[in-house]
Every structure is written in C-alpha cells, then in structure tokens.
Amino acid sequence: MTMLEVRNLHVTYGKVRAVRGICLDVAEGQIVTLIGANGAGKSSVMHAICGVIKPQAGQITFNGRDISGLPSHRIVPQGIAQVPEGRMIFEDLTIRENLLVGGYVRSRGTDDERIDEVLELFPVLRPRLVEPAANLSGGQQQMLAIARGLMSNPAFLMLDEPSLGLSPKAAEEVFDLIGKLRASGVTILLVEQNVRQALAIASRGYVLESGQVILQGGSTELLSDERLINAYLGIRRH
C-alpha cells in the first residue's frame, strides 16, 4: 500500500525554484532513497512533506489524507517525523532533555516509558542519559538525533543525510540501525550522498537534479544505470 504520495510538488524560496514538479511514492514498509548533488532540492522535499515549509504547489497525501500545506504540528501527530540534516542536537542539554524535545506530540505513556522503549535500539545512550549531549561523538549524536525522531512514535521517518561527516565505521552503524528500524515496521525516506550504501539498503530510489526527478527505479536497476554510475558512484564528496 502506498503510504506517501507526492504529486507535482513545487517549493520556492523567493525567486529560487528549489523543487520543480516532483512526484514520488513511498510504499508502507519500504526504504526509499533520494539521491542528488548539493542544492538538488532533497531537503526541500522533506521540509515540504513534514510541513516545515509550505509548498508553492502540488499535493502530498499520507495514508490517503491530503496533508499538503498543513503546519508541522498537525503533520507530526499523523505519524511523520524528520531527522534534519546536521543533526540539530542541543549540546548544552542532556541526552534525556534532547530526547524530550522530540516527544512533544506523544499521547500515551510517560516520557520515561517512551525513552525506555526508544533506547532499546540505542544501548549506548542508555547509561548516559544525564550527560550533556556535547560529550557524545559525532556518530553517537547522529544516533541521538534519530532516537529523538522516534520519540513521537512515527510510522514514517525521514532521515536527511544521516551519515554525513561520520567515520566509515560510524556510518556503517547508522546504516545498520536504519535496517533495524525498517525491520521494526518504520517506513523510511532516506536522503544520502552515500549513494552506494543508500541503494544497498533501499528498495527504490529517485535521483534529483535541479529540483526535478531525472531518474527513478528499483535499487538494483539504479545501481547498474550508466547515468547514475557516471554521476554518483565512485565519487564521494565528503
């Protein structure tokens, strides 16, 4: 079943046309990846889906409901969460406090019950809840950002470049975790510059260029596509 349907999405910032008529589908239970160079419009698509920015035009349907143009606080309770690019961890706050920032829409259970559930996937964070987030390594801060995204118990999670700036080992751990999240039933939209690893874990992918989808398909198909190989594989910008 299609969980998320995006039709003819347009996002503009003043005169900048960041997203120009994108369509995409994410089926329930899938990992779908958005690939593209800097400035292709990947983050803008995610921001529009979760209501951080209002699209100029187009339709976004989630579980059959039109959510286009709704503000974030009305979208998150429907089961959508975003882990933003750059993690956005509050380093002066404790790990527990950072988690609570993401749990504001939760309707049942106490804060500590939800933290306890979420931390099942993040054993390294559990003994460190009262430490400032500044004490964590980059990889651990990314884990914290993902854990915070899960506090609202989303059915659909969007991850914006979660492996950016991490060591290969920490990036590997993030990809392992994404696989576990999918196995636990979370549907995922993954933006990545690490194209090979993203396609290895995703069912399908969309390649964006200048705000448009220039290529889409199953992961295996994309991994052997000449255009994708020439443009993205074998080159790592970070």
Which positions touch ligand ATP (CB under 6 A)?
Answer: 13, 16, 18, 36, 38-44, 85
Question: Which CB, 42 or 204, lies closer to ligand ATP?
Answer: 42
Sign of the alpha-carbon dihedral angle for 116, 84, 216, 37: negative
Kindly state the smallest distance separating residue 43's Cβ from Mg ion, in Å. Answer: 3
Kindly state the smallest distance separating residue 97's Cβ from ligand ATP, in Å. Answer: 27
Contacted entry of ligand ATP, Mg ion, none for residue 13, CB cut-off 5 to 8 Å set by kind: ligand ATP
Beta-ladder partners of 82: 158
C-alpha count within 13 angstroms, C-beta hemisphere, residue 79: 14
Contacted entry of ligand ATP, Mg ion, none for residue 110, CB cut-off 5 to 8 Å set by kind: none
Question: Which CB, 44 or 125, lies closer to Mg ion?
Answer: 44
Among residues 30, 33, 43, 152, the one that binds Mg ion under rule CB under 5 A: 43
Q: Give whole-number Cα distances, 126 to 130, 140, 163, 179, 180, in Å.
A: 9, 12, 22, 21, 18
Kindly state the smallest distance separating residue 41's Cβ from Mg ion, in Å. Answer: 8
Residue type, 80: I
Question: Which CB, 43 or 219, lies closer to Mg ion?
Answer: 43
Question: Which CB, 87 or 114, lies closer to ligand ATP?
Answer: 87
| Per-residue b or e along 124-162, where b marks 16 or more CB atoms closer than 10 Å to that residue's CB | ebeebeeeebeebeebbbbbbbbbbbbbbbbbbbbbbbb
Q: How far is the C-alpha of 197 from the C-alpha of 194, rounded, in Å?
A: 6
Kindly state the smallest distance separating residue 24's Cβ from ligand ATP, in Å. Answer: 14
8 Å CB contact between 214 and 222: no
Question: Which CB, 99 or 199, lies closer to ligand ATP?
Answer: 199
Piece of 37-45, 57-65, 90-98, 192-200 that binds Mg ion (CB under 5 A): 37-45
Kindly state the smallest distance separating residue 65's Cβ from ligand ATP, in Å. Answer: 24
Q: Is 110 exposed, middle or buried (0-12, 13-18, 19+ CB in 10 A)?
A: exposed
Piece of 38-46, 50-58, 61-69, 122-130 that binds Mg ion (CB under 5 A): 38-46
Question: Which CB, 34 or 60, lies closer to Mg ion?
Answer: 34
8 Å CB contact between 50 and 75: yes
Kindly state the smallest distance separating residue 196's Cβ from ligand ATP, in Å. Answer: 17
Binding site for Mg ion (CB under 5 A): 42-43, 85
